[in-house]
C-alpha cells in the first residue's frame, strides 16, 4: 500500500473539490441514518394513537429526508468520480511525458505492449482508488460510526450481541486482501505479456505471413490467453469466497438481533419502534461489511498498479529540466559546424571527421558519403 503515496501530488490540485465531495458523503449519510429514527418515532406514535394525520406527517418527513439524501449522494458521486477522471488524465499525461524524456536504450529493454498495458489498465486501476475507493471508504466509515452509535443509544447490550459475529471480520479482510493483491499483480503482468505479443505480431504481420508463422503464433497467443484466464479465475475464486464470508457473519448478526431483540420487545425493555430502527441500522451495517471487501479489493488492485507505474516513474530521464531555466535570447536561425567529428557510441571509427560548414536561414544542406556507406 506504500506505493499509493505517489498519488498525493495528483490530489493537491483538486483538494478543495475532494473536500467538498467528502463533506457531501457525510451529509448524505446523516440524512440516511435519520430515516430509521423518524420511522422509530412514527411506529411508537402510531402504537399509542393510530391517526391518519400522524401517518401523513411522518410520511412527508421521510420523503423530504430521502430527497435530500438522494440529491447529496448524486452530487458526491458526480464530484468525486469526475475529479478522479481528471486525476487519471493527469497521471497518464505525466507518464507519457516521462516516457518521452527517457533515452533510446530504455525502449530497447522495455516492450511496447507492457508500456501500453501500464498506461491503460494500471492507470485505470489507480483511478478507481482516487475516486470510488476513497469515496466508499469514507462512506463506509461514516455509516458504520453513525449506525453503530445509534444502535448503542437504543440498547447497548443488544448491540454487543449483534457485534459478536463481526469480530472475525478484520482477520478475514487482512488474509483475503493479501491474496487479492498478489493475484492482481500476476494478472497485470500477464496482461502486459498478451498486449506486447499482440502488438509485436500486428506490427510485424508481414514477417509473420512471409515465414508462414500464423498457426504457430496463434498457438502461442492461445497459451498466453489461457494463462491469463486461469489467473483471473484464481482471483475470482478468492473474491467469490471473500464476499459470502462477510455476508455470512453479517447474517448471523441479524439472527442474533431477531432472537434477543424480539425478547427485549416482549419484556418491554425496548419499544417496537426501537426494534424497527435497530433492525434498519443493522441492515445499514451490512453494506459497510460488503463495501469493506470491495474497497479492500480496489485498494489492493490500485496499490499493485501504482507499484508498476512507479517502476517507470523511478527511472531517471537522460535529459532533466533545470530548476532555474535560462531564457533563450533572440535566435538568428543560422547553424555552423566548426571542425566537428562524430562516431557512434561503442565504436572506434569516426563516421564524420573534421566537418566545417555554415547553413544560413532558409538553406537546405545534405551530407552524403560514398556509395553504400
- Residues comprising the chain, all counted: 373
Cα separation, 178 vs 301, in Å, equals 10
Q: Is 110 exposed, middle or buried (0-12, 13-18, 19+ CB in 10 A)?
A: middle
Enter the C-alpha cell of residue 17: 473539490
Measured in whole angstroms, the distance separating CA 65 from the mean position of its chain's CA atoms is: 31
For residue 360, is it within any domain?
Answer: no
For residue 89, is it within any domain?
Answer: yes
pLDDT more than 70, % of the chain: 96
SS3 335: strand
Query: pLDDT per residue over 20-66, tens digit each?
Result: 999 999 999 999 999 999 988 888 888 787 777 788 888 899 999 99
Question: Cβ neighbours of residue 277 under 8 Å, at least 6 residues apart?
Answer: 36, 37, 39, 40, 150, 154
Distances (CA, A) of 157 to 81, 160, 164, 276, 325: 40, 5, 11, 16, 68
CB atoms within 10 A of CB 127: 22
Query: pLDDT per residue over 316-331, tens digit each?
Result: 876 677 777 777 777 7
Q: DSSP secondary-structure letter at 318?
A: S
Q: Give me the CATH number covering residue 195.
A: 1.20.1560.10
Closest CA to 299 of 7, 22, 86: 7
Query: pLDDT per residue over 186-225, tens digit each?
Result: 887 888 788 888 888 888 888 888 888 888 889 998 999 9
Looking at residue 290, what is its pLDDT? 67
Distances (CA, A) of 329 to 148, 319, 326, 333: 67, 21, 9, 12
User: Helix 156-163 crosses helix 214-267 at what angle (to 10 degrees)?
Assistant: 150
For residue 365, is it within any domain?
Answer: no
Cα separation, 72 vs 63, in Å, equals 14
User: pLDDT band for position 370 (50/70/90)?
Assistant: low
Q: How many domains does the chain have?
A: 1
For residue 355, is it within any domain?
Answer: no
For residue 115, is it within any domain?
Answer: yes
For 270, list phi and psi in degrees, rounded to 5. -135, 160
Q: Are 184 and 304 a contacting pair, CB within 8 Å? A: yes
The half-sphere exposure of 202 on its side-chain side, counting CA atoms within 13 A, is: 8
Measured in whole angstroms, the distance separating CA 233 from the mean position of its chain's CA atoms is: 21
For residue 234, is it within any domain?
Answer: yes
Question: Cβ neighbours of residue 298 under 8 Å, at least 6 residues apart?
Answer: 128, 129, 132, 133, 136
- Give the structural domain span for 49: 2-313
Q: Are 35 and 64 a contacting pair, CB within 8 Å? A: no
Distances (CA, A) of 153 to 75, 158, 170, 260: 31, 10, 24, 16
Looking at residue 79, what is its pLDDT? 93
For residue 368, is it within any domain?
Answer: no
For residue 242, is it within any domain?
Answer: yes
Q: Are 287 and 59 a contacting pair, CB within 8 Å? A: no
Long-range contacts of 330-334 (CB under 8 A, 24+ apart): 332/361, 333/361, 334/358, 334/359, 334/360, 334/361
pTM of the model: 0.67
Looking at residue 371, what is its pLDDT? 59
Q: Rank 91-95, 269-273, 287-291 by mean pLDDT and report only the highest.
A: 91-95
Question: Cβ neighbours of residue 143 under 8 Å, at least 6 residues apart?
Answer: 29, 32, 33, 284, 285, 287, 288
Amino acid at each position: 500500500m506504500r506505493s499509493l503515496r505517489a498519488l498525493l501530488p495528483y490530489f493537491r490540485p483538486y483538494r478543495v473539490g475532494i473536500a467538498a465531495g467528502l463533506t457531501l458523503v457525510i451529509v448524505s449519510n446523516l440524512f440516511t441514518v435519520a430515516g430509521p429514527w423518524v420511522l422509530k418515532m412514527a411506529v411508537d406514535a402510531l402504537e399509542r394513537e393510530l391517526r391518519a394525520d400522524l401517518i401523513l406527517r411522518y410520511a412527508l418527513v421521510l420523503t423530504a429526508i430521502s430527497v435530500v439524501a438522494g440529491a447529496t449522494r448524486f452530487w458526491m458521486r458526480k464530484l468525486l468520480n469526475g475529479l478522479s477522471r481528471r486525476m487519471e488524465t493527469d497521471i497518464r499525461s505525466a507518464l507519457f511525458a516521462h516516457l518521452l524524456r527517457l533515452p533510446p536504450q530504455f525502449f530497447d529493454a522495455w516492450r511496447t505492449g507492457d508500456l501500453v498495458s501500464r498506461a491503460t489498465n494500471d492507470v485505470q486501476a489507480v483511478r478507481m482508488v482516487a475516486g470510488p475507493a476513497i469515496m466508499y471508504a469514507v462512506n463506509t466509515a461514516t455509516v458504520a460510526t453513525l449506525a453503530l452509535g445509534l444502535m448503542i443509544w437504543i440498547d447497548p447490550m443488544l448491540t454487543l450481541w449483534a457485534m459478536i459475529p463481526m469480530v472475525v471480520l478484520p482477520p478475514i479482510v487482512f488474509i483475503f486482501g493479501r491474496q487479492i493483491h498478489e493475484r492482481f499483480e500476476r494478472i497485470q503482468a500477464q496482461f502486459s505479456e498478451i498486449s506486447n505479443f499482440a502488438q509485436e505480431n500486428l506490427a510485424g504481420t508481414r514477417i509473420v505471413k512471409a515465414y508462414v508463422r500464423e498457426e504457430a503464433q496463434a498457438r502461442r497467443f492461445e497459451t498466453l490467453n489461457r494463462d491469463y484466464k486461469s489467473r483471473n479465475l484464481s482471483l475470482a475464486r478468492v473474491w467469490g469466497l471473500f464476499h459470502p464470508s462477510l455476508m455470512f457473519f453479517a447474517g448471523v448478526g441479524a439472527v442474533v438481533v431477531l432472537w434477543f431483540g424480539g425478547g427485549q420487545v416482549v419484556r418491554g425493555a425496548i419499544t417496537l419502534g426501537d426494534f424497527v430502527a435497530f433492525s434498519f441500522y443493522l441492515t445499514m451495517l451490512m453494506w459497510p461489511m460488503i463495501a469493506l471487501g470491495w474497497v479492500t479489493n480496489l485498494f489492493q488492485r490500485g496499490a499493485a498498479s501504482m507499484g508498476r507505474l512507479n517502476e517507470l516513474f523511478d527511472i531517471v530521464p537522460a535529459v532533466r529540466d533545470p530548476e532555474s531555466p535560462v531564457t533563450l535570447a533572440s535566435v538568428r536561425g543560422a547553424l555552423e559546424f566548426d571542425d566537428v567529428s562524430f562516431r557512434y557510441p561503442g565504436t572506434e571509427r569516426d563516421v564524420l571527421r573534421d566537418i566545417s560548414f555554415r547553413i544560413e536561414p532558409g538553406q537546405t544542406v545534405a551530407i552524403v558519403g560514398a556509395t553504400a556507406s
